[in-house]
Structure 1
Amino acid sequence: MELIFYAVPTLMIAGCGFAAYLLVRRARRLSRTWAHGLTARARCLRMYTTTSGGGGDTSVRTTVHHVYEFATREGRTVRFDEEGGSATVLEGDFVTVRYLPEQPRRATALPPSRGKLVVTTGFGLTFLGVAATFCAGFITVAHMMFTESSGLMP
């Protein structure tokens, strides 16, 4: 029984750590692409939305996705899917994309916005830090409860 009070929060802390890693990795990739990437003209081949959430009494989140295609400077055609783009970009529209020559499939059509990237990454890391701290506090309380009660639950 005690294992549940230790294992579940520990797994949640590990999940928060992994999510923080992914968040920082995405921010670094975008920042590097904006700073050092080459530009190309891309065509939006498809625009679609996905929804998540339960509906009813809970909120539903809608995310806009775009599928773009562009040619690199070497003449290679690259197609990529990106979420979170502008809802004003429709199928058939042309946009400027930025890509790193060594990773053209990681291109982005998001316009450079370092301030927004810093703020959103900071809020995400803060949220994950608070969640991990809460889980660590729960482990501490559970440990105190089990050691002071000699393993007997009240």
Structure 2
Amino acid sequence: MFELFFYAVPTLMIAGLGYAAFLLLRRARRIGRTWTHGLTAEGRCLRMFTTTSGGGGDTSVRTTLHHVYEFTTHEGRTVRFEEEDGPATVVEGDFVTVRYLPEQPQRATARPPAPARLAVGTGFGVAFLGVAMTFCVGFIVLAHAMFSESAGLLP
């Protein structure tokens, strides 16, 4: 029963890491599609704010910049959306070019197209998650070998 812990925890971690990789790839695909196939509209930055995360002290603190934008679609619908990690040069009241897919205008982006940067960032993210999954698989293999040896199953 105790051995189950050494199999279940890494397996759950692998599932979580796999889901994170799926979300990362889905996000990159959506943004890339918006850049290449999306419509453009003039938007306006309504609000800019920051949030912090992390414990401080010995733990690093991460500050995230948020922008709230509003634009009108080609059909005349007003859409407001929030975007993280936008350019610090955009402040409240600035006009920006917004790109959106007609079927999902609430998932618009005001980031200028940068497909190479998106690909590199996504690649590094997926590679990091893959290394973490490989570590979990190695841990399971090592735990299996240790439990098999202690049970006398290995010569």
The match for 1:39 is 40
- Alpha-carbon RMSD: 0.9
The match for 2:94 is 93
CA displacement, residues 66-123 of structure 1 (integer Å, 9 cap, x when unaligned):
1100000110000001111011111111100000001100000010000100100000
Give the secondary structure class of the aligned counterpart of 1:86.
coil
Give the secondary structure class of the aligned counterpart of 1:88.
coil
Q: Distance in 1 between matches of 2:106 and 2:72?
A: 11
The match for 2:51 is 50
The match for 1:13 is 14
The match for 1:119 is 120
| Shift of residue 50, structure 1, vs aligned partner | 1.1
Aligned length: 151
Give the secondary structure class of the aligned counterpart of 2:46.
strand
Give the secondary structure class of the aligned counterpart of 1:42.
strand
Aligned: 1:139 with 2:140: yes
TM-score of the superposed pair, with normalisation by structure 2:
0.95
The aligned amino acid for 1:25 is: R
The match for 2:29 is 28
| Shift of residue 59, structure 1, vs aligned partner | 1.0
Give the secondary structure class of the aligned counterpart of 2:105.
strand
Q: Distance in 1 between matches of 2:52 and 2:88?
A: 14
Aligned: 1:103 with 2:104: yes
Give the secondary structure class of the aligned counterpart of 1:125.
helix
Give the secondary structure class of the aligned counterpart of 2:10.
helix
Q: Distance in 1 between matches of 2:14 and 2:5?
A: 14
- Shifted more, 102-111 versus 52-61: the winner is 52-61
Give the secondary structure class of the aligned counterpart of 1:2.
helix
Give the secondary structure class of the aligned counterpart of 1:67.
strand
CA displacement, residues 10-30 of structure 1 (integer Å, 9 cap, x when unaligned):
111001100000000000000
TM-score of the superposed pair, with normalisation by structure 1:
0.96
Q: Distance in 2 between matches of 1:58 and 1:100?
A: 39
Alignment identity in percent? 76
The aligned amino acid for 1:118 is: A
| Shift of residue 58, structure 1, vs aligned partner | 1.5
| Shift of residue 3, structure 1, vs aligned partner | 1.4
